[in-house]
């Protein structure tokens, strides 16, 4: 028996190794999404897609920074198929690190405007978040407002509220101002903002708007969906949106978007999901979950959002929010914007 075992042991080992390799090579059928979008906003989207197609989706939620670090650390062993974030700069950063792959899709190229997607097709915007001016209806007349730069003027001395510069939304806004005006002019604008602050920068947009309503300041900058959420709960607050820079480039916009990861085990299935997100029904649902604007032209926004009226938005490609974000952070630090 000992001799027979010795003869067949190598063959048995080879068979076991082959079986193990087959087991390792077989990938689970479910898509894996790393998402910086909150679970309560994204899970209904995944559930709807699964119900329509039978495709199961497993997701991990965290801030974009840790998710990008995780993707980078996992490398070729990553099981993630899709990275989803709430800022174009974050998607740009992931792509710049080589963590995203180009997607060649006539569907996505037709449904998502060029300004809302990566020039190399590595990520796509699926909803638009506008960052514009909010003001007190009790102390400010809309004709006193104009563009982002004007908030650094003498009229708003001690009357401006801002969210912290640590938040990526403001970093992207300043990056886009650099793309539009250049660094020296943008530094002058942001320095004026800092000089006009009525209070230390707030940790979030909701606290900022509540400060305006309470009389602590008169004007500020917010993402429109925060305004929608707050007014949905407190409709009598004396604040209103003003569409910035309508005589110039238009309102600064950012995106919530996604792309296929560089080592996606299920790249084709991931591509199909992104294409589904760009379709009219999914667009309305995806944007409506967070009171954002659909990225695909011609799709009606949620009635709450539509009531704010039409506006001219900046035509610049949102990829510049990533390309110039490091420069923007240094600029804000230089002028004391904390």
The phi and psi torsions of 314 (rounded to 5 degrees) equal -60, 135
So what's the pLDDT on residue 5?
Answer: 34
CA–CA separation, 92 and 323 (whole Å): 7
Q: HSE of 232 in the Cβ direction (CA atoms, 13 Å)?
A: 14
CA–CA separation, 270 and 278 (whole Å): 13
Tens-digit pLDDT profile for residues 6-58: 433 333 343 333 333 333 334 448 999 999 999 999 999 999 999 999 999 99
So what's the pLDDT on residue 73?
Answer: 98
Query: Which parts of the chain register pLDDT below 70?
Result: 1-28
CA–CA separation, 114 and 327 (whole Å): 24
The whole-model pTM stands at: 0.90
Strand runs labelled E in 160-249: 160-161, 219-223, 239-242
Tens-digit pLDDT profile for residues 97-141: 999 999 999 999 999 999 999 999 999 999 999 999 999 999 999
Pair 254, 149: CB distance under 8 Å? no
So what's the pLDDT on residue 29?
Answer: 85
So what's the pLDDT on residue 1?
Answer: 36
So what's the pLDDT on residue 38?
Answer: 93
């Amino acid at each position: 028996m000992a001799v027979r075992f010795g003869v067949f042991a190598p063959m048995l080992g080879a068979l076991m190794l082959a079986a193990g390799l087959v087991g390792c090579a077989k990938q689970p059928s479910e898509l894996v999404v790393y998402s910086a979008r909150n679970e309560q906003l994204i899970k209904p989207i995944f559930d709807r897609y699964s119900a329509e197609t039978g495709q199961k989706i497993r997701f991990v939620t965290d801030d974009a920074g840790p998710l990008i670090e995780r993707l980078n650390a996992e490398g070729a062993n990553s099981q993630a198929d899709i990275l989803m974030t709430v800022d174009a700069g974050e998607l740009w950063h992931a792509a710049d690190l080589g963590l995203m792959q180009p997607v060649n899709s006539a569907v996505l190229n037709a449904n998502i405007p060029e300004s809302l997607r990566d020039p190399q097709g590595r990520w796509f915007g699926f909803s638009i978040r506008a960052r514009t001016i909010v003001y007190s209806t009790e102390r400010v007349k809309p004709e006193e407002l104009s563009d982002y730069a004007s908030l650094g003027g003498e009229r708003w001395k001690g009357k401006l509220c801002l969210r912290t510069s640590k938040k990526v939304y403001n970093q992207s806004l300043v990056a886009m101002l650099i793309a539009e005006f250049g660094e020296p002019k943008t530094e002058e604008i942001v320095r004026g903002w800092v000089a006009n602050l009525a209070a230390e920068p707030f940790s979030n947009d909701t606290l900022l708007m509540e400060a305006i309503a309470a009389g602590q300041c008169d004007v500020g900058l917010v993402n429109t969906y925060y305004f929608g959420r707050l007014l949905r709960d407190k409709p009598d607050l004396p604040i209103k949106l003003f569409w910035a820079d309508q005589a110039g480039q238009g309102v600064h916009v950012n995106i919530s978007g996604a792309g296929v990861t560089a080592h996606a085990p299920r790249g084709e299935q991931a591509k199909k999901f992104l294409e589904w997100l760009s379709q009219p029904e999914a667009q309305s649902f995806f944007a409506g979950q967070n009171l954002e604007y659909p990225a695909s032209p011609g799709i009606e926004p949620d009635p709450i959002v539509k009531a704010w009226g039409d506006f001219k938005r900046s035509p610049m490609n949102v990829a510049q929010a990533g390309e110039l974000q490091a420069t923007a952070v240094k600029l804000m630090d230089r002028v004391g914007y904390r």
